[in-house]
Amino acid sequence: MTPVVQLDAVSREFAGTAAVRELDLTVRRGEFTALLGPSGCGKTTTLRMIAGFLEPTAGRILLEGEDATRLPPERRNIGMVFQSYALFPHMTVEKNVAFGLKMRGIADGELRTRTGEALELVGLSHLAGRKPKQLSGGQQQRIALARAIAVRPSVLLLDEPLSNLDARLRIQMRQELARIQKETGLTAILVTHDQEEALELADSMVILDQGTVAQQGAPREVFRAPANRFVAEFLGYENFVELPDGRTVTIRPEHVEVLTPESTDSTPSDGTTVDAVLTAVRFRGTDCVVTAVSQGRTVLATSSDFELRSGRQVRVHLPAAHTIDLPRTKQELPTS
Ligand SMILES: Nc1ncnc2c1ncn2[C@@H]1O[C@H](COP(=O)(O)OP(=O)(O)OP(=O)(O)O)[C@@H](O)[C@H]1O
Ligand SMILES: [Mg+2]
């Protein structure tokens, strides 16, 4: 099946500085792709190039298999929701939603039908006559979504569409997005900082690091097996341990076992066990978080052994089943 969107070694420079570097990306029909990464890593730049607001300095963009690298935005069948919503303040809700259809020269009857359908999809038909300033933030957000959907885009680009909403509304809108995507079979690329959002909505997750793909895969896979330290840190892994054999691994604190002579006198046969000293013990009610230091290496662990105290000699076990090997990223490799 021809991908809906394909980026082929796409780069974009601004005054000699690369914002996106040789980026490859494939989005298939009906797929929901989440684009994540730290501020400034090139997410918005990528979306703007796909939409045609920005030309790549190198590489190709294929839409539905056709080279669209130099095609103007209005000739690409793309819907975009901006972080700021960007509704036209002087137009009614209905006119806002109809705008893209009008631009595309859709005839009046069809235009009214599609506008009505889009408003219904976001549950705001009753507000068609209002102006944007008479709407709440969440309602404006839905209108921006309706406007993007009304043109029946082959791909919908969403640039942090939920980040201006409060926590409760965010979760509600997230569920709504999931429903709309299911109902319409929409293909979408969502930029988000929110890992939960990506986990809940996305079939595929792409993590960008300074304009290149650090890892791409199903969200569960990426969370379970981050490809390198950058991705692991971005996803909230805190333990980075260099093992005696030279490998660097990461492991969730809840998977690290703190062993004392009272808890066991045998050495686990799998994984790695090291002698360590506890330097901090923080009680959390149902368990405690301990910091163990072994030859300058720090390991965080959780334990339900409430006898643990700072200064205590222990052994720390990193079970093989839970340690994730982290190859070094290019940036971390020593330059020689
Ligand atoms: N018009 C521009 N002129 C010059 N530099 C730009 C321009 N647009 C973006 N950049 C730079 O390109 C890099 C990527 O910017 P981009 O907006 O794509 O980041 P982002 O991943 O969307 O970040 P955020 O999460 O903060 O929105 C940044 O270093 C930014 O300063
Ligand atoms: Mg951005």
Look at residues 50, 43, 41 and name the one whose alpha carbon lies nearest to residue 4: 50
Pocket test for ligand 1, best of 45, 49, 159 (most atoms within 8 A of CB): 45
Q: How far is the CA of 37 from the centre of ligand 2 (A)?
A: 10
Q: Please write the tens of the pLDDT for every residue from 200-239.
A: 889 999 999 999 999 999 999 998 889 999 999 999 899 9
Q: How far is the CA of 40 from the centre of ligand 2 (A)?
A: 7
DSSP string covering 157-173: EEESTTTTS-HHHHHHH
pTM, entire model: 0.84
Q: Is the CB of 23 inside a 6 Å radius of any atom of ligand 1? A: no
For residues 41 and 50, the answer to whether their CB atoms sit within 8 Å is no
pLDDT band at 88 (very low <50, low <70, confident <90, very high): very high
Task: Quote the pLDDT of residue 336.
Answer: 47
Q: What does the mean pLDDT of the chain come to?
A: 90
Q: Is the CB of 43 inside a 6 Å radius of any atom of ligand 1? A: yes
Average pLDDT over residues 143-162: 90
* Other C-beta atoms lying within 10 Å of the C-beta of residue 150: 25
Q: Is the CB of 150 inside a 6 Å radius of any atom of ligand 1? A: no
Average pLDDT over residues 256-281: 90
Pick from 26-30, 139-143, 242-246: least confident: 242-246
Top-confidence range, 40-54, 149-163, 171-185: 40-54
Is pLDDT at 48 greater than 90 in this prediction? yes
Q: What are phi and psi of 90, to 5 degrees?
A: -85, -5
For residues 162 and 197, the answer to whether their CB atoms sit within 8 Å is yes
**Ligand 1 atom closest to 160 (CA):** 27
Of the CA atoms within 13 Å of residue 251, those in its CB half-sphere come to 26
Q: What are phi and psi of 256, to 5 degrees?
A: -85, 135
Task: Quote the pLDDT of residue 20.
Answer: 97
Q: Hunting for tokens 């549950």 — which residue is that?
A: 123
Q: Is the CB of 42 inside a 6 Å radius of any atom of ligand 1? A: yes
Task: Please state, in angstroms and rounded to a whole number, the distance separating the CA atoms of residues 15 and 304.
Answer: 55
Task: Delineate the domains of the chain, giving CATH numbers in brackets.
Answer: 5-231 (3.40.50.300), 237-325 (2.40.50.140)
Beta bridge partners of 249: 241, 325
